[in-house]
């Protein structure tokens, strides 16, 4: 790397896991990095809150260490020794006939084994017969074309029938994405199925996963730490020369002949550090910019330069979501059937506000001896705006009522925390990958040296966000912005 490369100035906008990873890689490559975050903390939807003596995650709950990229980062940060895996246990599905155990081998993208589905009691005889045709239909149905995308629901229904989609895919993948599986993109939300879709390969005849390399540490598939996922986000920039601006909003990006000017405003917020003044502005010079922010935040920054890019971002959808952490007296839950499992998944057809429940004391070892039975309830789906119309007290009351209906638990909880996510969860609809390709091509042409990264573009989950941050950093490391035609924003 040349001296010019080492002094490359990069502004990373957004301090979630994507922005943190991008800033880390850029700083390691020798760039001069400033990270700007509107909130008063780093982490984004990794939010570990202190509730009494315990630390509880009220956003993302676990990291998937089956991802080589996520695993590599955890190993690099020296966090493998303290990793905690989720405890094995049964998950429940809510059906019209009460709770049923989630069959072994059923994933958010469909069943990988049919026998457990047959014996689960979740499906009708007719539905089971239709699901059993999947290996045959995989060969007979046309494969997905290279430039084609369909919804996860349409694909799974074409293979297994509508009943599998309704009773398994909707409460699993639909709950994870807070979305409608008949609108979520197969390529963006279930990329593991794309090969089976294009090659007409059966989903219940998957090849076994390759064995771990000799001597490789055996890490859990889904993991956290005793201090929560903030353990990860706190470590990403430790001991790296990255300047962090918290409580700051990027107002505009101006293209200059030799790069960019990023205008930043200090927001009015409690607990301001000495020397900070609400409303103060700062001009940051940049050769490259990573926009690791939701589509709604990126759109106004790109609009003066490209109406086309802003239009694509403006069309993006999000689902408003909320999380409530409750504590029940252990005497009220010790003999309850539902608490034999790690949580409950709800189908959208149930008509309840409750989307999912996680029994934290059952699922995570750090809460096993807590004074309460800890429960995390989540709400919010695409197209359902009820949580926005409810006060916190009303939200808790409705979720507790739904949880009582599902589990039979008739005890007053201790309300420990209510978390609303104003940014929501991005809805990666059918055609997302094509729109994303067009968006990135447009940004590359109008604003060379500006890259988009994060869950709104590259998929939900910490592993996807980590990979997105790494890709953004790699794209900028060798990049040089071309001189602009003028110092004014370029209109599309």
Beta bridge partners of 43: 16
What is residue 395's predicted lDDT score, i.e. its pLDDT?
97
Q: Which CATH number fits domain 3-43+231-305+447-476: 3.10.20.600, 3.40.140.10, 3.90.79.10, 3.50.50.60?
A: 3.50.50.60
Angle at 379 between CA 378 and CA 381, to 5 degrees: 130
Find where tokens 């246990």 sit.
Answer: 89
pTM metric for this prediction: 0.91
Q: Is 454 left (phi over 0), alpha (psi -120 to 50) or beta?
A: left
Q: How far is CA 50 from CA 14, 89, 229, 392, 417, in A?
A: 23, 26, 12, 19, 10
Distance from C-alpha of 325 to C-alpha of 130, rounded to nearest angstrom: 40
Distance from C-alpha of 166 to C-alpha of 132, rounded to nearest angstrom: 16
CB-side neighbour CA atoms (13 Å) of 111 = 29
Distance from C-alpha of 221 to C-alpha of 71, rounded to nearest angstrom: 10
Fold of 106-199: protoporphyrinogen ix oxidase, domain 3 (1.10.3110)
Distance from C-alpha of 428 to C-alpha of 205, rounded to nearest angstrom: 28
CB-side neighbour CA atoms (13 Å) of 408 = 9
Helical pair 462-476 and 17-28, crossing angle rounded to 10 deg: 40
Handedness of CA 450, 22, 471, 169 (dihedral sign): negative
Torsion from C-alpha of 65, 427, 93, 332, nearest 10 degrees: 80
**Contact yes or no for 421/321 (Cβ under 8 A):** yes
Would you list the domain boundaries of the chain? 3-43+231-305+447-476, 48-66+83-87+318-427, 106-199
Query: Could you tell me the two tokens for 330?
Result: 């252990």
- The three-state secondary structure class of 87 is coil
Q: Tens digit of pLDDT per residue, the chain (492 long)?
A: 344 444 589 999 999 999 999 999 999 999 999 999 999 999 999 999 999 999 999 999 999 999 999 999 999 999 999 999 999 888 999 997 889 999 888 888 778 888 888 888 899 999 999 999 999 999 998 999 988 999 999 999 999 999 999 999 999 999 999 999 999 999 999 998 999 999 999 988 655 555 555 555 578 889 999 999 999 999 999 989 999 999 999 999 999 999 999 999 998 654 555 445 678 899 999 999 999 999 999 999 999 999 999 999 999 999 999 999 999 999 999 989 999 999 999 999 999 999 999 999 999 999 999 999 999 999 999 989 899 999 999 999 999 999 999 999 999 999 999 999 988 899 999 999 999 999 999 999 999 999 999 999 999 999 999 999 999 999 998 644 333 333 333 333
What is residue 112's predicted lDDT score, i.e. its pLDDT?
81
Distance from C-alpha of 196 to C-alpha of 205, rounded to nearest angstrom: 10
Do 48-66+83-87+318-427 and 3-43+231-305+447-476 have the same topology in CATH?
A: no
Helical pair 307-314 and 295-302, crossing angle rounded to 10 deg: 160
Fold of 48-66+83-87+318-427: Polyamine Oxidase; Chain A, domain 2 (3.90.660)
């Amino acid at each position: 790397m040349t001296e010019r490369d080492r002094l490359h100035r990069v502004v990373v906008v957004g301090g979630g896991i994507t922005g943190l990873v991008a800033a880390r890689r850029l700083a390691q490559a020798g760039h001069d990095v400033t990270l700007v975050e509107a909130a008063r903390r780093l982490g984004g939807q990794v939010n570990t809150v202190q509730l009494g003596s315990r630390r509880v995650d009220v956003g993302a709950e676990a990291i998937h260490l089956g991802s080589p990229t996520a695993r590599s980062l955890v190993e690099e940060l020296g966090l493998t020794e303290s990793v905690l895996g989720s405890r094995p246990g049964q998950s429940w599905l809510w059906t019209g006939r009460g709770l049923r155990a989630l069959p072994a081998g059923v994933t958010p993208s469909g069943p990988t084994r049919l026998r457990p589905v047959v014996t689960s009691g979740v499906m009708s005889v007719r539905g089971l017969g239709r699901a059993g045709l999947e290996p045959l239909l995989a060969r007979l149905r046309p494969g997905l074309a290279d430039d084609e995308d369909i919804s996860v629901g349409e694909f799974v229904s074409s293979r297994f029938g509508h009943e599998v989609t309704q009773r398994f895919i909707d409460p699993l993948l639909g709950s994870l994405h807070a979305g409608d599986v008949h609108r979520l993109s197969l390529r963006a939300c279930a990329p593991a199925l794309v090969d089976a879709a294009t090659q007409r390969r059966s989903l219940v005849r998957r090849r076994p996963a390759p064995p771990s390399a000799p001597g490789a540490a055996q890490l859990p598939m889904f993991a956290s730490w005793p201090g929560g996922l903030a353990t990860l986000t706190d470590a990403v920039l430790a001991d790296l020369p990255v300047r962090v601006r918290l409580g700051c909003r990027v107002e505009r990006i101006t293209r200059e002949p030799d790069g960019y000017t990023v205008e930043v405003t200090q927001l009015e917020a409690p607990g301001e550090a000495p020397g900070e003044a609400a409303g103060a502005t700062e001009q940051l010079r940049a050769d490259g910019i990573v926009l690791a922010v939701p589509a709604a935040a990126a759109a106004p920054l790109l609009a003066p330069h490209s109406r086309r890019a802003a239009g694509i971002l403006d069309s993006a959808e999000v689902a408003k979501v909320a999380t409530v952490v409750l504590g029940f007296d252990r005497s009220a839950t010790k003999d309850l059937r539902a608490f034999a499992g790690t949580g409950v998944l709800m189908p959208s057809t149930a008509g309840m506000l409750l989307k999912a429940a996680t029994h934290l004391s059952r699922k995570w070892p750090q809460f096993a001896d807590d004074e309460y039975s800890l429960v995390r309830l989540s709400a919010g789906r695409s197209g359902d705006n009820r949580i926005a119309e409810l006060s916190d007290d009303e939200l808790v009351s409705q979720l507790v009522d739904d949880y009582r209906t599902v589990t039979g638990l008739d005890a007053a909880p201790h309300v420990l925390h209510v978390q609303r996510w104003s940014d929501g969860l991005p809805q990666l609809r059918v055609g997302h990958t094509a729109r994303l390709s067009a968006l990135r091509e447009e940004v590359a042409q109008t604003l060379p040296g500006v890259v988009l990264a994060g869950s709104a573009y590259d998929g939900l989950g910490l592993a996807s966000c980590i990979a997105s941050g790494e890709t953004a950093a790699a794209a900028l490391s060798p990049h040089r912005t071309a001189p602009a035609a003028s110092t004014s924003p370029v209109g599309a």
